[in-house]
Amino acid sequence: MNNHVTVLEIDANAILHNLQYFKQKLQPQTKILAVVKAFGYGSDAVEIAKIVKDHVDYFSVAYSNEGIALREAGIDTPILVLHPQIQNIKEIVKYRLEPNLYNFKIFEAFLNYAKDVPLMNYPIHIKFNTGLNRLGFWHTDIPNIVAQLKKSNNIVVQSIFSHLAASEDLNEQEFTVEQINNFAYIIKQIYAHLGYEPMIHILNTSGVVHFPQAQFDMVRVGIGLYGFSNTAKETTELKNTHSLKSIISQIHNVQPGETVGYNRAFVASKPTRSATVPVGHADGISRRLGNKNGFVIINNQPAPIIGNVCMDMIMVDVTKIDCEEGDEVIIFNHQQHVEYMAHKCETIPYEILTAISQRVKRLVKR
């Protein structure tokens, strides 16, 4: 049993609201893939999948073990593994996961495995690199790929996809349009020679917002599902899904000249009340938020973090706050607070959310 008093609350209704928000931007025939990798962006992938499984067509995860966890929890929706490894092919097939084959090494390894088992029409996905330069085949690989696919009845291509590099940045609109056009060219070549037409998809959350003309057959909704878009206006239309809460463990009265925390980083210049909260950098609270760079909310008032963030605790200034030991502490409970933390840490909300340790208890609110 996880009895950590620090809890991450996941709002199921907010998740469904956000999904519906993006759904209303789509053509009726456009399918939705919900991205639940990285523990559902730091929440709980299994719970997120249970919340949305009746409203989406696909899930995607980064690695095979994430997909296995969904299968073992009873999720039977198709699951795309975005970054499978050769050593996991057997487990991928055992759990009916669908691998993204992104280079000839894993492509040929999977074809050989499928032939040896043998498998029949096992679903796979193929990714092309159109400018992100992370994973994916090149357009020049098309003849070789098609030739090998046409020789095999062991596998069937469920989808062909790519990933936009800068869909959130309208200053890069020309580059993004070029990516989309390159992808369309790739699809045209494959459709002309493969003999059947797999699904195609390229849009992520910000792509759905900025490039609706490129919906193709399916879109992938990731960070948007969890309450964030890449524009402030869009984010205000979404609901907060993650709330990180704790309690006050102890209150200290610190006299002038006394210090708080490691390296005596905070020195009291006047009588100060400090509250110790059981959450620290091992729980995902960056050390950059120490020394008054970050704050928590206690009884509706901001309490700045004083001194250095410890592994398991933070100390906050509650001199002007009427509170006592055992009172609730809100680490964050809305998108603007997460964005503030991200700004102070010189990062993005993705990292703030996914950094929340697995030792923090998850609680789904329905």
Count the neighbouring beta carbons within 10 Å of the beta carbon of residue 171: 7
Residue 181 shares a structural domain with residue 318? no
Inter-residue contact 277 to 305 (CB < 8 Å): no
pLDDT of 3 strictly over 90: no
pLDDT digits (tens, 9 = 90+) for 221-268: 999 999 999 888 899 999 999 999 999 999 999 999 999 999 999 999
Q: In the predicted model, what is the mean pLDDT of residues 289-309? A: 98
**For the chain, what percentages of helix, strand and coil (3-state, to nearest 5) are there?**
40, 25, 40
Residue 99 shares a structural domain with residue 127? yes
pLDDT of 342 strictly over 70: yes
Count the neighbouring beta carbons within 10 Å of the beta carbon of residue 1: 4
pLDDT digits (tens, 9 = 90+) for 171-193: 999 999 999 999 999 999 999 99
pLDDT digits (tens, 9 = 90+) for 205-215: 999 999 999 99
CATH of residue 169's domain is: 3.20.20.10
Inter-residue contact 316 to 273 (CB < 8 Å): no
Inter-residue contact 249 to 278 (CB < 8 Å): yes
Residue 25 shares a structural domain with residue 148? yes
CATH of residue 359's domain is: 2.40.37.10
Inter-residue contact 274 to 254 (CB < 8 Å): yes
Residue 220 shares a structural domain with residue 261? no
pLDDT of 1 strictly over 70: no
Residues with active-site annotation: 37, 262
pLDDT digits (tens, 9 = 90+) for 72-106: 999 999 999 999 999 999 999 999 999 999 999 99
Torsion sign, CA atoms 89, 93, 96, 99: positive
- 182-to-35, 147, 150, 293 alpha-carbon distances in Å: 24, 21, 23, 44
User: Which residue, 174, 195, 228, sits at the end of a domain?
Assistant: 228
Structural domain total, the chain: 2
The structure's pTM equals: 0.95
pLDDT of residue 232: 86
Domain residues for 261? 242-365
Closest CA relative to residue 199, chosen from 125, 137, 98: 125
Residue 120 shares a structural domain with residue 220? yes
Closest CA relative to residue 210, chosen from 14, 358, 25, 74: 25
Q: In the predicted model, what is the mean pLDDT of residues 21-33? A: 97
Inter-residue contact 44 to 364 (CB < 8 Å): yes
